[in-house]
Amino acid sequence: MADIQIDIERCKGCGLCVLQCGHGCLKMSEDTNESGNTYAMINGSKDKCTGCGLCCQMCPDVAISICNEKTNTKKNKS
Amino acid sequence: MNFCRTESLIDTVTHYCPGCGHGIIHRLVAEVLDELGVREKTIATAPVGCAVLFYNYMKCDIIECAHGRSPAVATAIKRLLPENVVFTYQGDGDLAAIGMAETIHAANRGENITVIFVNNAIYGMTGGQMAPTTLLGQMSTTTEAGRGNNQEGPPIKVCELLSMLDGVTYLERVAVNDAKNVIKTKKAIRKGFLNQIEGRGFSMVEVLSMCPTDWKVSPLKAAEFVNIDMKSVFPLGVYKDEDGQ
């Protein structure tokens, strides 16, 4: 399972990550962050996330990070 | 795979609008610098335009240039410091309008620099005026009825234009409208830098990018605009590759 982390204060709410996710793991929030933007959030549970990283590729604000469990957990900052 | 912010990209909030492609392209450039291990000897030039604050986001030396003069400044830096990696980061107003002369002559001289050209078909920072790359029929604050073929003329295709020059080594047009193209964009940027490191000469990577704010559409519609409208006028692909790979 992939550990996906979203920094909601960095998110500007563009929604490009939601568009890219082929597994429906992400959705936009209904409320806003401190900057007044809606933000991307996990849609349900993280179980559906395969850790493909396409959402990270599209995020203009580098607000999404992913750490797969198979790899060295020391690299996981979250 | 793991995905974390790369070291060359300063950990801060950018001033860019939601859905703007600059953030993606900044990240790609930073990742390439880190992967090639050249950050400590890289000198970039910042443009005038939305990316004018480029120096606030990258951990390498950056010189802010007068509008459009980046290729001339980069020429000077590279000639004085040939061991350093020098690249320009320019928008369509900076590179294809006021800086077109510098661009063409630097390319024609075959300066051993890398040019990252962000084409979003509009003047972003100044509020959405027509750029040289604005599409026919595209509305802007200075072409309220849409850009006209007889009035403003058709968009300038910079890759096609520069491909005729003997001095140019590498030209590729890519896009950042979806993840697949973002990955391709990184490969193109990497090749642009490798060409310079290996002394092959002038490389330019044109990146089709989104400007939802000045196009007055949502970020998702902006990505669609790049995919359908912009790509039909600015076809993606390699326009010149003297290395032949």
B128 inside domain: yes
* Cross-chain CB nearest to B1 (options A13, A53, A59): A53
B220 to chain A: which residues are within 8 Å by CB? 15-16, 19
Give CA separation, B116 vs B62, B92, B126, in Å: 14, 10, 21
B178 to chain A: which residues are within 8 Å by CB? 19-20, 58
Which range (A45-49, A52-56, B131-135, B186-190) has the least confidence?
A: A45-49
Tell me which residue range forms the domain holding B117: 22-241
**Interval B171-208: pLDDT, tens:** 999 999 999 999 999 999 999 999 999 999 999 999 99
Question: Do the chains contact at A61 and B14, CB–CB below 8 Å?
Answer: yes
pLDDT at A75 over 50: no
pLDDT at A74 over 70: no
Mean model confidence pLDDT for chain A: 87
User: B54 to chain A, minimum CA–CA distance in Å?
Assistant: 14
B33 inside domain: yes
**Domains of chain A (ranges, CATH numbers):** 2-72 (3.30.70.20)
B1 inside domain: no
- The number of distinct structural domains making up chain B is 1
Give CA separation, B99 vs B36, B67, B132, B226, in Å: 29, 7, 11, 24
Residue of A nearest to B10 (CA): A62
B237 inside domain: yes
pLDDT at B136 over 90: yes
Residue B58 and residue B26 in contact, taking contact as beta carbons nearer than 8 Å: yes
B160 inside domain: yes
**Rounded CA gap, B50 and B73, in Å?**
19
User: B79 to chain A, minimum CA–CA distance in Å?
Assistant: 34
Kindly state the average pLDDT of the residues B122-134: 96
B76 inside domain: yes
B7 inside domain: no
pLDDT at B244 over 90: no
Q: What is the CATH number of the domain that holds B160?
A: 3.40.50.970
ipTM of the complex: 0.92
Burial, A31: exposed, middle or buried (Cβ in 10 Å; 0-12, 13-18, 19+)? exposed
Core vs surface per residue B206-244: b (16+ CB within 10 A) or e: bbbbbbbbbbebebbebbbbbbeebbebbebeebbbbee
**Interval B153-175: pLDDT, tens:** 999 999 999 999 999 999 999 99
**Rounded CA gap, A52 and B2, in Å?**
9
Give CA separation, A27 vs A14, A16, A17, A54, B114, in Å: 11, 10, 9, 14, 38
B13 inside domain: no
**Interval B94-113: pLDDT, tens:** 999 999 999 999 999 999 99
Residue B169 and residue B108 in contact, taking contact as beta carbons nearer than 8 Å: no
- Cβ neighbour number for residue B198 with a 10 Å cutoff: 10
pLDDT-based confidence at residue B119 (cuts at 50, 70, 90): very high
pLDDT-based confidence at residue A70 (cuts at 50, 70, 90): low
**Rounded CA gap, A27 and A13, in Å?**
10
* Cross-chain CB nearest to A62 (options B20, B27, B212): B27
